[in-house]
Structures are given as structure tokens and as C-alpha cells.
Amino acid sequence: QVQLVESGGGSVQSGGSLRLSCAASGFSVSTYDMGWFRQAPGNEREGVAAILKDGSTGYADSVKGRFTISRDNAKNTMLLQMTSLKPEDTAVYYCAADRRKYAQPLLRSSYNRWGQGTQVTVSS
């Protein structure tokens, strides 16, 4: 059974860093396209970063240069290193897996599997 479990969220001050983890079970992270999304209160869930099976990555403009997505195949985990955090980064962060073929990697509707989310709060 495919399962995704996020961890690593928390509260930090503006300019700080956090590293989110998405532990996968039931499949190998190296065989699925995966992504990180976030949803702030009152907002739609938006794509933050994606990593494809071939290792290529993509980012939302709002996080380019600050966030880095990666995989740890040995631990079967996807990671999101977040630096220079801003208050507008505050949201629940979700990991997603199993992108539909030809679907846009940073669109919510592109993925079939989701974790339960982890809260990130950045204070000014």
C-alpha cells in the first residue's frame, strides 16, 4: 500500500531554514515523479517543487533559489530544504507522488497520492 508521511515542519523566524521529509512506503521514490505542495488558509494548494524519475527538478518562481528538492533513495525519502524563509511561506506542506503521464509537475491535479501534511509557520 502506497503511503506518504511528511515531517520536519515547525515554527521559525523570517530568514531561517527548515528541512521537510516525506517518507514513502509501498513504492520506491526513485521510480515515481514526486512533488511538494503547500496550502495557506483561504488559498488553493499550490505547487512548490517537483522531482521526476530522471532526477530533473522544477520550482515555483516564488521559491527558486531558496528551496531545494531532492531524494534520498537509501532512506526512500523525498526532501525539501527551505532557506531564507519568509512569512508568506507559512502553509501546510504536502508531498505528492505518482504523477499522471504528461501532467504538469506543479499542478495539484497531476498527482494520485498525497501525504497528510506538515505545518510550516514563519514569523516576521
pLDDT score for 65: 98
pLDDT score for 60: 98
For 70, residues 6+ apart whose C-beta sits below 8 A from its C-beta are 51, 78, 79, 81
CA dist 61 and 83 (Å) reads: 15
For 64-112, write each residue's pLDDT tens digit: 999 999 999 999 999 999 999 999 999 999 999 999 988 999 999 999 9
pLDDT tier at 4, thresholds 50, 70, 90: very high
For 26-59, write each residue's pLDDT tens digit: 999 999 999 999 999 999 999 999 999 999 999 9
pLDDT score for 37: 98
In the numeric block, which cell numbers belong to residue 14? 523570517
pLDDT score for 9: 98
pLDDT tier at 117, thresholds 50, 70, 90: very high
